[in-house]
Amino acid sequence: MTKMSTSIEEYQPSEAELVRRAFRNQRKRQSTLVAFSSTVIVAVLVFWGLVSTPGWDRVSETFFNWDVAVAASPRIIDGLFLNLRVLAMTAVSVLFFGLLLALLRTLRNPVFFPLRIFSKGYVDFFRGLPLIIVLYLVGFGIPGLRLEFLGRIPVEILGTIALTLTYSAYVAEVFRAGIESVHPSQRLAARSLGLSYSKSMRLVVLPQAIRRVAPPLMNDFVALQKDVGLISVLGAIDAVRGAQIEVAKFANFTPYVLSGLLFVLLAIPTIRFTDHIAQKLSKREQSGSAL
């Protein structure tokens, strides 16, 4: 007969449980060892395969040249700051316009019918249109209108406008999915307390929706982080364009590799942060950890 107790201090694991734990620990050590050795083997094989290719010496000279990397870095890093400025401006405006588009689609009053249709059409159109075409149309089209009172619009502003146009369409869909994922009973409870439609949206539905879509929003942010490099097609001297200039100067591709690595480095903290948030959210509703 087992002695029943809810006390933490007095509890002694049974013989059977101790055997299970020992077995699990041994298994764990085994899998760690297997994972480690297979990683080493794969890494060695890949490296050896690469180095032993006939053209390796030339490739390492033209793509991984340390001296060129050092010489090119000031211009690339300068350019990266331009990318970061565009990223910041775009992220803020995308959040605003994306949410606005999503909200327009939820309006049910017939007065707003044209706005609802506009939002739907907009999202369809800009999700289909390649970003690079939007960049060309905005980057060369808006200045082409010759709006003298605006003066000369800086390229980074034009780039921000183009990126905002496209990304707002994606983010609007994320927000809309979030709004629709809030259970109708929450809205029902809000309305039954006498809250108006807009107040129940603002105070009850949106706060829950935004929390829920944080991970996919961050994912779009990661995508945006590298797509800001596309403003180079407008002639802005950003990291990509800066690298291109250095490539031409040295007749060596290392600057491209360098700017690519910098973009990856920039993205990694955001990616880790996204994982962290997603994990935290899923932990709250998870059970059945053995599966």
Partner 1 sequence: MSDINSPKARLIAKGIRKQYDDRVILGGVDLEVYPGQIVALIGSSGSGKSTLLRCINLIERIDDGQMWLEGEDIAKPGIDEDAVRQQIGLVFQSFNLFSHLSILENITLALRHVQGKTSEEAKEIALGWLKRIGLGDKADSYPDKLSGGQQQRTAIVRAVALNPKLLLLDEVTSALDPELVGEVLELIKDLKQSGTTIVMATHELSFARDVADWVIFLDKGVIAEEGEAKEFFANPKNPRTREFLTRLKQG
Q: How far is the CB of 207 from partner 1 (least distance, A)?
A: 5
Question: Which residue, 15 or 285, has its beta carbon nearer to partner 1?
Answer: 285
Smaller CB separation from partner 1, 106 or 270: 106
Distances from the Cα of 193 to the Cαs of 157, 184, 188, 189, in angstroms?
Answer: 46, 14, 9, 6
DSSP 32-92: HHHHHHHHHHHHHHHHHHHHTSTTHHHHHHHHS-HHHHHHHHHHHHHHHHHHHHHHHHHHH
CA-based nearest residue to 281, from 186, 215, 204:
215
> Which of residues 163 and 206 has its CB atom nearest to partner 1 in the complex?
206
Tell me the C-alpha distance between 132 and 244, whole Å: 18
Smallest distance from the beta carbon of 109 to partner 1, in angstroms? Answer: 14
Place of tokens 């899923």: 282
In the complex, the smallest distance separating the C-beta of residue 178 from partner 1, rounded to whole angstroms, is: 12
Please say which residue, 82 or 213, places its beta carbon nearer to partner 1: 213
For partner 1, the closer CB: 39 or 198: 198
Phi, psi for residue 130 in degrees, rounded to 5: -60, 140
Binding site for partner 1 (CB under 8 A): 185-186, 188-196, 199, 203-204, 207-208, 211
- Minimum CB separation of residue 254 from partner 1 in Å reads 50
CA distance 205 to 243: 46
What minimum distance in Å lies between the beta carbon of 288 and partner 1?
18
